[in-house]
Chains A and B, each alone.
Chain A
């Protein structure tokens, strides 16, 4: 994160040509990947990683902007997925409208919830998000008449969505590009938010809420808005998941999904905008490799979380940057 609060805001919003170059490179690399990779299996994995990367980005953004740890972001993700399934099943509206609804409802829910609970202390916030998430999960399991219970719901998607054939959203080759581009767009949008006037205010509130209030800022609404933004990003991931899988079950609401997203964010480095997404890529890659070697994936991820949290607060992403900087320094010398 850059410092220097005295510089004009517009300065921060401007990206250097190198940053643009890196973004273009990352986007192009993603888009160029499918034709190069013959393996549908790898692409399936990468598509899942990109969707989870968006979810992890939402958890990381909340941690970066508000300093609080959420154990319940699967709630916004899962509600988005279920809303698509339900509105199509009951023919409430066109599928395109369902997508919009699935983005709006979790955002509003996050905002209202935020207004209610932003004043609780940070640790209580973490406990609450866990409880809220689990309440929705249990509801989805128990309310069989609405949600189909543990069996879940198949989503009968129309042949076309937003003018695109539905296969675009579902075949790994195109779905990966779509999810990858969405991920890049989300990270870019969060960058703009972080460097806007609003982003500065949230930073001030995170560092010292009392002082921010003292110098005249209303702090509850901005904090609720941060939760809403983060909820919207989680909902985007949920929508992509629903379109890609054409099926939802209560697992999309379970706290272990929230926990995984949190772990990805921490491992990748929540202080970086792209850290959580990077964490998601590493998570899926290692999971795939480790899955063949050990049955103790859960213990492995738990130990990794402990080690990274204590010894590597910048995450793997932060270490990568340091490593690159050190290499460049070494080359210059």
Chain B
């Protein structure tokens, strides 16, 4: 029972890191990044490649930095130039990027599944209430908690954080007040993609690394973001925890319906509250 709850937290934590990156980008640029799952996948491959040579932690750092740079490029070449276009345009362009990135990964790393062992330090297990639990999985929960705490503090106390929160609630008024969303846009998008890189590398020892690994996580994190309320950080946090538990429960007890449950929950939430559980709050 404890192990099951913890496994739910592991999955929910991973989902949270991916989903909150989507929320960050949406909050400032008002677009949904369909390439986010592919960035997660690229993050896993970059982390894998560096980690096999220089160790896990260097791989994690390298992946985060690489993806941050990719985020800067994405903002400068896609989100910023297209900011005045119809939302559907940006959405379709990010879908195109998804296809290109998957093809790119297939060319560079091949179609085969790869796996990355966890760092030596975390190969063992820890006894929790009489049950052994892999220490790497505990670390994943820890990383997600750190991201959540760090992000909350940053949003609460930094100047950019204030702007991001303001922009998530009302982008027009925020811009009227003199906030230059273009300048902070680059930082925020880079942070969002860096988080995709972080989650990709952290997930690498738990999942099979392949060019198609981004699709599933993209869809699950979409469910999280939609349930939480587009642009809501707290909503994404709660929704990720709930979906994590539900996903795990489904996999253990009714595998044939495991993917249907989050979807049914999502539709139920939307019929009840079309703007998600958080409504328009951040």
Which chain A residues have a beta carbon within 8 Å of chain B's beta carbons? 63, 67-69, 71, 113, 116-117, 119-124, 126-128, 130-132, 134-135, 138-139, 142-143, 255, 259, 262, 266, 296, 298-299, 301-306, 309-310, 313
Contact = CB atoms under 8 A, between A and B. Distances in A.
B89 A310 contact: yes
A142 B256 contact: yes
B87 A131 contact: no
A117 B223 CA distance: 13
Given A116-B271, A120-B274, A139-B257, A302 B91 contact: no
B38 to A, nearest CB: 10
B254 to A, nearest CB: 10
A255 B215 contact: yes
Contacts of B91: 69, 123, 126
B96 A302 contact: yes
B145 interface: no
Given A306-B97, A310-B82, A128 B256 contact: no
B100 A131 contact: no
A121 B225 CA distance: 13
Number of chain B interface residues as a range: 35 or more
Nearest to B92: A309
Contacts of A266: 92
A306 B93 contact: yes
A310 B100 CA distance: 16
A124 B255 contact: no
B99 A305 contact: yes
Interface stretch (B46-54, B65-73, B166-174, B259-267): B259-267
Given A69-B91, A296-B103, A120 B226 contact: yes
B230 interface: yes
A134 B259 contact: yes
Contacts of B216: 134
Main DSSP-derived SS at the B contact region: helix
Contact of A130 (B82, B219, B256, B259): B219
A142 B255 contact: yes
Contact of A128 (B95, B98, B270): B270
Contacts of B31: 123
Interface in B61-118: 82, 87-89, 91-93, 95-100, 102-104, 106-107
Given A127-B222, A310-B93, A138 B270 contact: no
Contacts of A113: 267
A188 to B, nearest CB: 27
**Minimum-distance CB pairs A-B, first 8:** A302-B99, A299-B103, A138-B259, A135-B263, A306-B96, A305-B96, A302-B100, A119-B274
B96 A303 contact: yes
A200 B119 CA distance: 62
A113 B266 CA distance: 12
B215 to A, nearest CB: 7
Nearest to A299: B103
B32 A302 contact: no
B98 A135 contact: no
A128 B31 CA distance: 15
Nearest to A266: B92
